[in-house]
Amino acid sequence: MDFRRLWAGPEPRGATPYGSHFFQPDVGELHLRTEVFPIVSSPGQQLIAQPAALGSRSAEALALLSTLAVRS
Q: In this predicted model, what pLDDT tens digit does every residue of 15-44 receive, in sequence order? A: 666 788 999 999 999 999 988 888 888 888
Is-contact 39 47, C-beta < 8 A? yes
Beta strand extents in the chain (DSSP E only): 16-24, 28-38, 46-49
- The per-residue pLDDT for 61 is 96
Structural element, H or E, at residue 59 = helix 57-71
> What three-state secondary structure class fits 5?
helix
pTM exceeding 0.85: no
| Cα–Cα distance measured from residue 36 to residue 20, given in angstroms and rounded to the nearest whole number | 12
- The per-residue pLDDT for 42 is 87
Domain count of the fold of the chain = 1
Across 8-12, 24-28, 43-47, least confident range: 8-12
- The per-residue pLDDT for 38 is 86
Structural domain boundaries enclosing 55: 3-71
